[in-house]
Structure 1
Amino acid sequence: MKIKLLGILFLTVTVFSMLSSCRKVEEDVVDCLSESILTSLHAHVSGSNPKQVEFNVSHSGENQITSIVWTFGDGTTTTTSNTTVTHLYNAAGSYEVKAEVSINNGKCTVSPKKSVDIQ
């Protein structure tokens, strides 16, 4: 859902796993007057290596994603402009992944989160 009211953008962030039917929807308010934004964070665990996960951020809007700061929940972070990144976990466990997405050179940011279980 994208609603713009009095110059304030109401942002819906949809986070889901490709491995399950579990779906989580978060709502946030973003002051971004130039466009409405919908951002999703996806995770796909490799079939050949269950500790390797591919994360992807999708975004709808006219402005470009200029950077993403990935926090993988295991103490590792990386910054990239790519919307897809692969991460290899060293140990099994449950991790909270965050993608701090900067749009239009930092004029708008959104930070969807996702929990992943590593076997």
Structure 2
Amino acid sequence: EEARAPIAERAHWQDQEDRLEKEIAALLQQVERKRAEQAEASKHVAQCTARIAAVEARFDKQLKKVEAKAHALSAAQEVHTRAAHGLDAASAAYDAEVRAVDDERIERQAWVEAAEAAIAAAEEEVK
């Protein structure tokens, strides 16, 4: 009877732990997709840089137009990089929160085990 509340609490925390684990997996997948997007963007930046160098060598007259496009691409890369860093920071904060919840779960589990041991000891004394 006394263990009913701790057992229910443990089930609650176990459900929360399972939910958080699924959320972490989803976030990690999202981070991987963003990293792939970032790698693709970096590849395009390198390709654009090479094309810009060729244009500079051949067409001095059109240089200003090409430089403006390169600047816009650089700005987009910077925005993307900041977004990726923001996602990494959010993921790290989420990981810290998950660790804290896990620590609480471990403490509660220890408490439940101690309570179960006390119940068992009390039942032995009653016998």
More strand as a share of residues:
1
TM-score normalized by the length of structure 1 = 0.20
More helix as a share of residues:
2
Higher CA-based Rg? 2
TM-score normalized by the length of structure 2 = 0.19
**RCO higher in 1 or 2 (8 Å CA, sep ≥ 6)?**
2
